[in-house]
């Protein structure tokens, strides 16, 4: 079989949480990536009209991103994505303009068969680790009608998605996206999806108390450009007429109900990459003076997403049945609680809990860990006898557990595409993974729990057990991501 964590180090993708590989710090704004990231002036007079024709000061203050001298471009862009809506998009464009975004393909049929095939379209860091897109929006969607979807509705959804593919290049410089379907969606067919086990989400540990997500569908939009994810969202729901200057041939209007912009259970936003976490330590859950490195991609101040800790896309692709060529997706909404992480734990303790105690003893990790290259260094000293290591050191590393127990044929079981968040005014993480089966996610999360270690060492159920004590999972959802040809309201047995 082929993890759900806020940060990760080596061995395999982890379930619910470790940090990911950073991106270029100069990509977080409406203008074209590459301009210097510096504090910007307030918007020029006369550039204050919203996309709906109203002046910016006519909109409630809580629905407008702050526009003050000294706010960095990347902070403003992140705030605009989190607020959402045509007004936030307009404020972003008014302030920065709309730099050139590469256009998409005339024939979307030339794109990869799998919606989840992103890797070759992502940027690379200095060690050739793939860089996750820096800005993300996840929308939990409900259909407006009951029963089996009509042919007309299927054509409408497909046409709308193809409009985005023609508007934006399929890349992190343009737009990457997936649409998936929850168990509830398939209930309307009175059948399970062919060849795919798609269980309802459940708690993954004795200490979890989660709310299951039960939408019909989930849409994930991702780009290095904050204005792109905002514009794509607005275009899909008919709030703007064009995407990247190209008219939309159809929208989701009348098929999917638009999620409430203020409801963070159904509209989730976030970011990952150098500089972004350091810009946003002014929220609950992380000390304001936390030493988050400018080079760190996530709040926990360590790099993850190493090339060798991620499965390949072919490994996570469904091999047979009606949805061959697709994959499954798990999505967790996680609250981070990092006061102790930064205020009580010292650097060596953080390194030991994130990676492995040996990493701390031997000073293997410099800063966020970019020096580790393409893996997090889980050698035999870390993985040969994890139980003995836990007894000797009184703690076990998160990556140490993953490398020892969450692999098949020396491969991690999943690909993590998660990102940090300040939804609800609190530091959080939206853990998003793709894997061939939900069982692979479950297996990875069970390895992360380290239950066997609690019976044979001083490691507790959460205390000194990797990073478990620093986050709590609030919501979970399981989804099927069909192949591109079946993504528009698929039947259960295609």
**Cα 173 versus chain centre, distance:** 17
pLDDT for 13 equals 56
pLDDT for 15 equals 66
CB 169 within 8 A of CB 106: no
Residue owning tokens 């309201």: 489
Q: How far apart are CA 134 and CA 297, in angstroms?
A: 9
Q: Is pLDDT above 80 for 24?
A: no
pLDDT for 443 equals 95
**Cα 112 versus chain centre, distance:** 21
Number of other CB atoms surrounding residue 106 within 10 Å? 9
Looking at residues 444-469, what average pLDDT do you find? 91
Q: At what angle do helices 151-167 and 226-236 cross, to 10 degrees?
A: 150
Q: Is pLDDT above 90 for 31?
A: no
CB 419 within 8 A of CB 476: no
Judged on CB neighbours under 10 Å (0-12, 13-18, 19+), 212 is middle
Looking at residues 298-327, what average pLDDT do you find? 95
| pTM score | 0.87
Looking at residues 225-238, what average pLDDT do you find? 97
Q: Is pLDDT above 70 for 296?
A: yes
Number of other CB atoms surrounding residue 218 within 10 Å? 25
In the chain, domain spans: 307-485
- Least confident piece of the model among 194-203, 302-311, 432-441: 302-311
The pLDDT-based confidence of 324 (bands split at 50, 70, 90) is: very high
Residue 3, C-beta contacts closer than 8 angstroms, at least 6 positions apart: 12, 13, 14, 15, 16, 17, 402, 406, 413, 414, 416, 433, 441, 444, 445, 447, 448
Judged on CB neighbours under 10 Å (0-12, 13-18, 19+), 260 is exposed
Looking at residues 326-344, what average pLDDT do you find? 97
The pLDDT-based confidence of 59 (bands split at 50, 70, 90) is: very low
Looking at residues 467-487, what average pLDDT do you find? 98
pLDDT tens-place string over residues 111-147: 999 999 999 999 999 999 999 999 999 999 999 999 9
pLDDT for 408 equals 86
Q: What is the mean pLDDT of the chain?
A: 87
The pLDDT-based confidence of 232 (bands split at 50, 70, 90) is: very high
Question: Residue 248 in 3-state DSSP?
Answer: coil
More confident residue, 19 or 291: 291
Looking at residues 271-291, what average pLDDT do you find? 94
More confident residue, 277 or 457: 277
């Amino acid at each position: 079989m082929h993890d759900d964590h806020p940060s990760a180090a080596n061995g395999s993708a982890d379930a619910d949480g470790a940090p990911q590989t950073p991106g270029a710090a100069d990509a977080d704004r409406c203008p074209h990536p590459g301009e210097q990231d510096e504090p910007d002036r307030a918007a020029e007079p006369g550039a204050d009209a919203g996309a709906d024709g109203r002046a910016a000061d006519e909109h409630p203050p809580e629905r407008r991103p702050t526009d003050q001298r000294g706010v960095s471009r990347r902070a403003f862009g992140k705030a605009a994505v989190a607020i959402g809506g045509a007004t936030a998009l307009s404020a972003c464009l008014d302030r920065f303009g709309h730099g050139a975004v590469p256009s998409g393909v005339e024939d979307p049929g030339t794109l990869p068969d799998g919606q989840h095939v992103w890797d070759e379209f992502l940027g690379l860091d200095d060690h050739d680790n793939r860089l996750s897109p820096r800005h993300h929006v996840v929308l939990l969607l409900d259909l407006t009608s009951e029963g089996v979807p009509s042919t007309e509705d299927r054509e409408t959804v497909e046409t709308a998605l193809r409009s985005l593919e023609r508007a934006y290049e399929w890349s992190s410089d343009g737009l990457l996206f997936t649409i998936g379907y929850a168990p509830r969606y398939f209930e309307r067919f009175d059948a399970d999806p062919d060849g795919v086990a798609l269980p309802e989400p459940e708690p993954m540990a004795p200490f979890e108390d989660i709310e299951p997500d039960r939408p019909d569908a989930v849409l994930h939009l991702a780009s290095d450009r904050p204005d792109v994810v905002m514009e794509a969202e607005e275009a899909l729901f008919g709030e703007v007429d064009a995407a990247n200057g190209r008219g939309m041939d159809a929208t989701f209007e009348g098929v999917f109900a638009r999620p409430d912009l203020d409801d963070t259970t159904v509209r989730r936003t976030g970011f990952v990459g150098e500089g972004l976490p350091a810009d946003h330590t002014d929220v609950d859950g992380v000390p304001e003076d936390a030493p988050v490195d400018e080079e760190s991609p996530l709040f926990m101040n360590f790099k993850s997403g190493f090339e060798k800790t991620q499965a390949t896309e072919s490994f996570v692709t469904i091999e047979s049945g009606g949805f061959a060529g697709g994959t499954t997706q798990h999505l967790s909404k996680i609250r981070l609680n990092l006061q102790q992480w930064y205020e009580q734990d010292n650097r060596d303790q953080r390194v030991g809990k994130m990676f492995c105690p040996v990493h701390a003893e031997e000073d293997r990790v410099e800063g966020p860990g970019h020096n580790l290259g393409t893996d997090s260094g889980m050698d035999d000293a870390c993985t040969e006898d994890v139980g003995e290591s836990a007894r000797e050191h009184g703690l076990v590393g998160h990556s140490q557990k993953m490398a020892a127990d969450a692999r098949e044929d020396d491969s991690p079981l999943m690909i993590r595409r998660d990102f940090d968040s300040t939804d609800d005014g609190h530091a959080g993480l939206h853990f998003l993974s793709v894997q061939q089966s939900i069982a692979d996610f479950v297996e990875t999360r069970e390895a992360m729990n380290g239950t066997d270690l609690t019976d044979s060492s001083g490691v507790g159920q959460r205390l000194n057990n990797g990073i478990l004590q620093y986050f709590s999972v609030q919501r979970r959802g399981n989804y099927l991501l069909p192949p591109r040809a079946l993504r528009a309201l698929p039947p259960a047995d295609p």
